[in-house]
Homo-oligomer: A and B are copies of this chain.
Amino acid sequence: MIIILKPGATKKDADEIIRQIAAVGLKPLYLPGTERTVLGAIGDERILGKLHIENHPLVERLSPVLTPYKLVSREIHPRDTVVRIDGVPVGGRHFTVIAGPCAVEDSRQMLLTAQAVKRAGARCLRGGAYKPRTSPYSFQGLGLEGLQILHEVSRTLQMPAVTEVVEVADVTAVERYASAFQVGARNMQNFRLLKAVGQSRKPVILKRGMAASVEDLLLAAEYILSEGNPSVILCERGIRTFETATRYTLDLNAIPHIKQHSHLPVIVDPSHGTGVREYVIPMAKAAVACGADGLLVEVHHNPKEALSDGHQSLDPREFARLMKGLRPYVAAAGRRM
């Protein structure tokens, strides 16, 4: 850790901080400059967090040398992690497509959609039973009944199913009916929920919050890993920027950045990441090209009648076209789908 003191700081201020650094077992450094004094702390600087050096009125700024996360870091764990959702691998040489409706609406919709995505080559099913909606007047999902429908269709078609969990109290039910948890963008920093799914042994797809930096996302994953669950799949789904031509700005830069800094697999959601049906296919291809490990795609057997997000859902024909269009890109990336 590098600690930059304010212009007025004295040797006495520096000594006070140096003593604190030494007291927790790190090696302190004293670097007086011409205009400022700089201090250093050598060792595992993450334990400095307890000292709250940033509170000192004569500390201008801390500049960490190490990343604030550990378990998710590639420095500690250099090889790519492959997470398995009921046997379906995500990460490594695989490119895994998870598809299905935004929300589970009824058995027929779920089954028709699931059959279509399976036929086209998707390996896992998605479908929301608990829907976080901006307006209280929007459809909020079927709840437990939705979970049961999803489970039934998943069993019938032998496709693992992924579904969102929005509340600690629902973790047990979701764990029972689904093959993997999804933690949505709005809950990426619901730390209680992260701890709860961290205590499960089922994989977790962790979506990036719309105002979350990649570092925030990796720290959210660290919550899950630090509770004992190593099976986390990160998901880029767009961030909020000034651009209104698309619903969110899909930040594909995050993919090579995450690959460089973490061993966890990372997938892309081009449906939320664009919010526009016509842009889903090109952005899905871009996701393969920049190194993503898979996709989370919204498909509805009849988008016109979808109860949520129909405008960004593909219909079965479009989804088949997506899967066909992806193949040469997946091959170019040296992966198999």
> How many angstroms between the C-alpha atoms of A217 and B285 in the bound complex?
24
Known: A35-B66, A242-B242, A332-B328. A52 touches B306 (CB 8 A): yes
- B290, A286: Cβ atoms closer than 8 Å: yes
Residues in A50-94 with C-beta less than 8 Å from chain B: 50, 52, 54-57, 59, 63, 65-66, 68-69, 75
- A52, B222: Cβ atoms closer than 8 Å: no
Interface, chain A (partner B; CB < 8 A):
2, 4, 7, 29, 31, 33-36, 38, 40, 42-44, 46, 49-50, 52, 54-57, 59, 63, 65-66, 68-69, 75, 132-140, 166-169, 186-187, 189-192, 209-211, 213-216, 219, 222-223, 226, 239-246, 249-257, 260, 273-274, 276-279, 282-283, 285-291, 303-308, 310-311, 313, 328-329, 331-332
> How many angstroms between the C-alpha atoms of A313 and B54 in the bound complex?
11
What are 27 A-to-B residue pairs whose CB atoms are below 8 Å?
A: A4-B65, A29-B31, A33-B65, A34-B44, A35-B65, A38-B40, A52-B306, A52-B307, A54-B311, A55-B311, A55-B313, A68-B135, A136-B219, A136-B223, A186-B189, A187-B190, A211-B211, A213-B244, A213-B245, A250-B252, A253-B273, A256-B278, A256-B283, A260-B279, A282-B289, A285-B290, A332-B332
- Closest residue of chain B to A56, judged by CB? B304
Known: A35-B66, A192-B166. A283 touches B278 (CB 8 A): no
- B191, A190: Cβ atoms closer than 8 Å: no
Partner of A242, one of B29, B167, B240, B287: B240
- B43, A34: Cβ atoms closer than 8 Å: yes
> How many angstroms between the C-alpha atoms of A59 and B311 in the bound complex?
9
Which 9 pairs of residues, A with B, have the shortest CB-CB distance?
A: A55-B310, A211-B211, A328-B332, A289-B289, A285-B289, A286-B290, A286-B286, A282-B290, A186-B189
Which residues of chain B are within 8 angstroms of A136 by Cβ–Cβ distance? 191, 219, 222-223, 226
> How many angstroms between the C-alpha atoms of A307 and B50 in the bound complex?
7
Q: How many copies make up the complex?
A: 4
Partner of A282, one of B66, B256, B279, B283: B256
> How many angstroms between the C-alpha atoms of A1 and B192 in the bound complex?
40
- Closest residue of chain B to A7, judged by CB? B75
Highest count of chain B CB atoms <10 Å: which of A52, A56, A273: A52
- B34, A40: Cβ atoms closer than 8 Å: no
Which residues of chain B are within 8 angstroms of A215 by Cβ–Cβ distance? 245
> How many angstroms between the C-alpha atoms of A133 and B12 in the bound complex?
32
- B246, A239: Cβ atoms closer than 8 Å: no
- B42, A33: Cβ atoms closer than 8 Å: yes
Which residues of chain B are within 8 angstroms of A63 by Cβ–Cβ distance? 2, 63
- Closest residue of chain B to A167, judged by CB? B192
- B34, A42: Cβ atoms closer than 8 Å: yes
What is the distance, in angstroms, from A275's C-beta to the closest C-beta of chain B?
9
What is the distance, in angstroms, from A225's C-beta to the closest C-beta of chain B?
9
- Closest residue of chain B to A191, judged by CB? B132
Highest count of chain B CB atoms <10 Å: which of A166, A279, A305: A279
- B250, A279: Cβ atoms closer than 8 Å: no
